[in-house]
Amino acid sequence: MLFRTFQPGDETAFRELNEVWIVKHFSLEEPDRKVLGDPKGYILDNGGEIIMAVEDGTAVGCCALLARGDGSFELGKMTVHDAWQGRGIGRRLLLAVIARAKEIGATRLYLESNTKLANALHLYEAVGFRHLPPERVQPSPYARSNVHMELLLA
């Protein structure tokens, strides 16, 4: 399994991996369509990163770091293809993304999730993410977001 940064040509895999996952659990929202339709414009050109999980030349997972300013990045659009789940790829992908965040000088990672994604929440907690208290939660552009967590890196 190779974990590498986004390359030209990864746009379709990034969009399709995320669309399948989102539709399976929720529904596509307008912010999803914007980010997935233009990852270069919404993520990369704004100082963010995308890490792809690749096996034998095929993208099987991905995760984005969206720059939020002041060393803060949002971890988002993380998914592993259904056929590849249960092999520890999600954990290794998350650890690769955290390592990359440190390399690029991130001091804080933030994420939004949903209480129905118990396995994901357990994974985030296991690597050190902590739930934000209600007074620190900012409004989300996503209706499905009801969990807000952070990981301090510095």
Question: Which domains does the chain show, CATH number per domain?
Answer: 2-108 (3.40.630.30)
pLDDT reported for residue 67: 98
pTM greater than the 0.75 cutoff:
yes
Q: What percent of the chain has pLDDT over 70?
A: 100
pLDDT reported for residue 154: 80
Residue 6 contacts residue 50 (beta carbons within 8 Å): yes
Rounded Cα distance, 140 and 57, in Å: 35
Q: What is the pLDDT of residues 61-79, one digit of tens each?
A: 999 999 999 999 999 999 9
Rounded to 5°, angle at Cα 110 from 109 and 111:
130
- What mean pLDDT do residues 111-133 have? 97
